[in-house]
Chains A and B, each alone.
Chain A
Amino acid sequence: MRKLLEFHMEDILPAREEVLRQQGMPPGKTVSGHIQSVLEEALDEFTNEARPTGILQGLMVDEFEAIFTGEGQNDPEAPLEEIYQQAEGLALFALTIGGKISTNIEELFAGKNFALGAMLDAVASLAADKAVVRTEEQYEKELANRNHHGTELRVLGYSPGYCGWHISAQRKLFKALEPERIGITLNASYLMTPLKSVSGVLVAGPREIHLFKPSFSFCKVCKTYSCHERLQDLKATAT
């Protein structure tokens, strides 16, 4: 299975409150007219300039092993290693919000329009995250249609660079997925262009396989906490 992904703007455009929270503003805080107008401008620019697209490709667990291992630099205890081996479905993905937004953000900072640059950056980052969630949902739905066992599968995305999966794994991931076809390229430091792009693997399996205790050696120094939110969400949706 290999397919191109399309996203509708209304499915990925973040809510105003989310954008403000992303920039450290507490929920419910009164926003000045000046900030409100910057926020509206950022949302407008995003709507006009974003070209969200993606690519998804299914693969077998043993095919993924080499991609996961990458260049042999993973943390010895990366949780994904145990998770993917229990998967009932795996798919590589890469998606991007498009190059124009990233260029615009850089130009805004260079032109000292910091507030709009940061606001647009927040909108684009949240939109990229939402595009990943939409991709997870789509894959989950496809598997549910094919699943004859009746087991409820939960799909979550994992990306190189996080939770002990070394970013150098991007090299093999790109070789297998070829996201260059949709305009996403990789540089020598394993970073993607356009900047607002996400790649990784979607892991489908019973909810339990995704659960892990965030007490790995790298968790001690990590303050990202996105895994905590995902784990909480998984626990909350337990049937």
Chain B
Amino acid sequence: MEVLAKISEALQRGDEKTVSTLTKQALDSQVPPREILDNGLVAGMDVVGRQFAEHAIFLPEVLMAARAMYAGLDLVKPLMEGEDIPSAGKIVLGTVQGDLHDIGKNLVGIMLRGAGMEVVDLGKDVPAERFVETAASEDADLIGMSALLTTTAPVMQEVIDLLRERNLQGKIRTIIGGAPVTDRFAEKIGADAYAFDAARAVEVVKQMVSGDQ
């Protein structure tokens, strides 16, 4: 459908006004909101994510595209309320306790929403207990943790230990990221996955919820 391709293209340019106008046009033409979401907005954000991963575009461009995505999302989401549509997955996201660096975590959240995931963002300075309690009460598939300080990365271990204690490990899987974190560290603390940047985080999370990882 031409209008959906145009929505996707405008989103990739970060042109929020055009995304908004075209989304309204599509809705007026009786295009189902779910189709606008999947084949216009998510499809556009998918291209943006791939370009970001390939270093063809950079953070400011991604963030402009994300804003454009929300311009459309804010129009279609209310019309989808009550529809029994399975989500692409649910993740509880946060920067660990003792750490306040959240730009990377915010970017991951924005891109995951763009990929159709449900994101519960707990913000920064999040205690281990809160990660686990929220993930359990929200019936989340994943917990995503971020840290920038070498001294706060051990909080990630606390979260994984708590999941183990409550027999939730495996049911709620974990992905970690941030400057002091590596795949070796993830393996050492028993995290299920590690991502070195936001684009990779989206790829890995998609694989995890689809059962490919």
A189 CA to B125 CA, complexed, in Å: 7
Q: Is the CB of B180 within 8 A of A221?
A: yes
Q: Which residue of B lies closest to A109 (CB)?
A: B106
A23 at the interface (CB under 8 A from B): yes
Q: Is the CB of A161 within 8 A of B152?
A: yes
Given known A-B contacts A162-B149, A221-B181, A223-B180, A189 and B97 have beta carbons under 8 A apart: yes
Which one, A25, A121, A165, contacts B103 given CB within 8 A? A121
Given known A-B contacts A23-B58, A25-B59, A223 and B106 have beta carbons under 8 A apart: no
- Looking at the assembled complex, report how far the CB atom of B201 sits from the nearest CB atom of chain A, in whole angstroms: 15
Q: Is the CB of B179 within 8 A of A115?
A: no
- Looking at the assembled complex, report how far the CB atom of B23 sits from the nearest CB atom of chain A, in whole angstroms: 15
Residues on B with beta carbons closer than 8 Å to the beta carbon of A167? 98, 149, 151-152
Residues on B with beta carbons closer than 8 Å to the beta carbon of A29? 58
Q: Which residue of B lies closest to A20 (CB)?
A: B60
Which one, B66, B180, B182, contacts A224 given CB within 8 A? B180
Residues on A with beta carbons closer than 8 Å to the beta carbon of B58? 23-26, 29
- Residues 88-109 of chain B: 1 if any A CB is under 8 Å from the residue's CB, otherwise 0? 0000000001111001001100
Q: Is the CB of B110 within 8 A of A114?
A: yes
Chain A at the B interface: mostly helix, strand, loop or mixed?
A: loop
Q: How many residues of B contact A (CB 8 A)?
A: 31
Which one, B63, B148, B184, contacts A115 given CB within 8 A? B63
Residues on A with beta carbons closer than 8 Å to the beta carbon of B125? 187, 189, 191
Q: Is the CB of A218 within 8 A of B106?
A: no
Q: Is the CB of B151 within 8 A of A161?
A: yes
Q: Is the CB of B150 within 8 A of A191?
A: no
Query: For chain B residues 123-179, which have a beta carbon within 8 Å of chain A?
Result: 125, 148-153, 179
A231 at the interface (CB under 8 A from B): no
Residues on B with beta carbons closer than 8 Å to the beta carbon of A119? 60
- Residues 182-195 of chain A: 1 if any B CB is under 8 Å from the residue's CB, otherwise 0? 00000101110001
B14 at the interface (CB under 8 A from A): yes
Q: Is the CB of B103 within 8 A of A38?
A: no
A24 CA to B53 CA, complexed, in Å: 12
Q: Is the CB of B63 within 8 A of A114?
A: yes
Q: Is the CB of A224 within 8 A of B64?
A: no
A166 at the interface (CB under 8 A from B): yes
A113 at the interface (CB under 8 A from B): yes
A115 CA to B203 CA, complexed, in Å: 22
- Residues 55-82 of chain B: 1 if any A CB is under 8 Å from the residue's CB, otherwise 0? 0001111011011001000000000000
A223 CA to B64 CA, complexed, in Å: 27
Q: Which residue of A lies closest to B73 (CB)?
A: A112
- Residues 10-35 of chain A: 1 if any B CB is under 8 Å from the residue's CB, otherwise 0? 00000000001001111001001011
A118 at the interface (CB under 8 A from B): yes
A56 CA to B181 CA, complexed, in Å: 33
Residues on A with beta carbons closer than 8 Å to the beta carbon of B151? 73, 161-162, 164-167
- Looking at the assembled complex, report how far the CB atom of B159 sits from the nearest CB atom of chain A, in whole angstroms: 15
Q: Is the CB of B106 within 8 A of A191?
A: no
A195 CA to B123 CA, complexed, in Å: 13
Residues on A with beta carbons closer than 8 Å to the beta carbon of B153? 221
Q: Is the CB of B59 within 8 A of A24?
A: yes
A65 CA to B115 CA, complexed, in Å: 50
Q: Which residue of A lies closest to B124 (CB)?
A: A191
Residues on A with beta carbons closer than 8 Å to the beta carbon of B182? 221, 223
A176 at the interface (CB under 8 A from B): no
Q: Which residue of A lies closest to B52 (CB)?
A: A24
Q: Is the CB of B59 within 8 A of A23?
A: yes
Q: Is the CB of B61 within 8 A of A35?
A: yes
Residues on B with beta carbons closer than 8 Å to the beta carbon of A166? 151
A162 CA to B97 CA, complexed, in Å: 15
A162 CA to B180 CA, complexed, in Å: 10
**A–B pairs, 12, beta carbons within 8 Å:** A23-B60, A25-B58, A35-B60, A38-B60, A114-B66, A117-B63, A118-B63, A118-B106, A161-B98, A164-B150, A221-B185, A224-B180
The 3 A-B pairs of least Cβ separation, nearest first, read A114-B63, A115-B63, A23-B59
By a beta-carbon cutoff of 8 Å, the part of chain B in contact with chain A is 14, 58-61, 63-64, 66-67, 70, 97-100, 103, 106-107, 110, 125, 148-153, 179-182, 184-185
Q: Could you list 19 further interchain pairs (A-B, Cβ under 8 angstroms) beyond the known A118-B60, A163-B150?
A: A23-B59, A25-B60, A34-B64, A35-B60, A35-B61, A35-B64, A38-B60, A38-B64, A112-B70, A113-B67, A114-B67, A118-B59, A167-B98, A189-B125, A218-B180, A221-B150, A221-B185, A222-B150, A222-B179
